[in-house]
Copies of this chain bind each other. A is one copy, B any other.
Amino acid sequence: MGRPRTSLIDLERITTVALQLVDEDGEFSVVAIARRLGVQTASLYHHVDGRDGIVELLRERVCADIDAAALDAADWREALAGWARSYRAAFGAHPRAIPLLMASPVRAPRVLSQYERAVGVLLAAGFPQGEVMKVIIALENLILGSALDLAAPQPMWVLTDEAKTPMLARALAASPPADRADASFELALAGCLSHLADLRDDLAGA
């Protein structure tokens, strides 16, 4: 690993400022990054591969908090569950980056290598090659929907006339908001994983 060289330090500062802007506004511009760094816009382009390059720097930064080592767990379900939980936490820390990152293709090598490991886990578990990306995307849908939900306002439902939605009023009262987000994610994750286990047995079986 070693210490980053000068150009990397610059990339780190650019990424930090870009992420601050995205956390604040859901967007960034090269001009706004330059302004905040106190440099000329043109000089930024010496360091980064345009706007798309900055998006990939953001992706690497956010994904650096994913515990890819979780994928080394002996049991594939445990491996995917650990990866999914840390993936959710990493993106949940920057919910406004989610739409931005989902709208742009993944090209960052370090992020692609995380996918490579996840693919490896599923292949080793016995999933056929043609099913692997579907499984990963299914988990990501759940992870990213839940990460966005981590930033939801509390309360998320404001009943203007409880008499009109009495069952909803009682259901909301019966489960405190603080308990819901994690429980909902774990419920959907457990559902996905147990279904995947059945699917794998069907596909790999015989």
Chain A residues at the B interface, C-beta cutoff of 8 Å: 26-27, 95-96, 98-99, 102-107, 109, 112-113, 115-116, 119-120, 123, 128-135, 137-146, 148-149, 151-153, 155-161, 164-168, 170-172, 174-175, 179-181, 183-185, 187-188, 190-196, 198-199
B130 in contact with A167 (CB, 8 Å): no
User: Which B residues lie within 8 Å of A153 (CB)?
Assistant: 103-105
A2–B144 alpha-carbon span in the complex (Å): 40
Evaluate whether A133 and B196 lie within 8 angstroms (CB atoms) in the complex, with A98-B99, A144-B145, A160-B107 already known. no
A96, A172, A192: most-surrounded residue (chain B CB, <10 A): A192
Q: Which residues of B contact A139 (CB under 8 A)?
A: 188
Cross-chain contact A129 with B99 (CB below 8 angstroms): no
Q: Top 4 closest A-B pairs, CB basis?
A: A145-B145, A191-B195, A141-B145, A137-B184
| Contact (Cβ within 8 A) A138 B105 | no
Q: Is the CB of B149 within 8 A of A119?
A: no
Q: A103-B151, A131-B175, A143-B145 are in contact. List 11 more A-B contacts (CB 8 A).
A: A96-B99, A98-B148, A105-B158, A109-B161, A112-B160, A115-B157, A116-B167, A130-B174, A133-B175, A137-B181, A138-B184
Provide the bound-state CA to CA distance between A104 and B113, in Å: 36
Is A158 a contact of B102 with CB atoms below 8 Å? no
Q: How far is the CA of A26 from the CA of B103 in the complex (A)?
A: 12
A24, chain B: closest CB distance, angstroms: 13
Whether the Cβ atoms of B129 and A164 lie closer than 8 Å is: no
In the bound assembly, the distance between CA atoms of A56 and B125 in angstroms comes to 45
A141 touches B142 (CB 8 A): yes
Contact call A188/B180, Cβ cutoff below 8 A: no
Q: Which residues of B contact A195 (CB under 8 A)?
A: 187, 190-192, 194-195
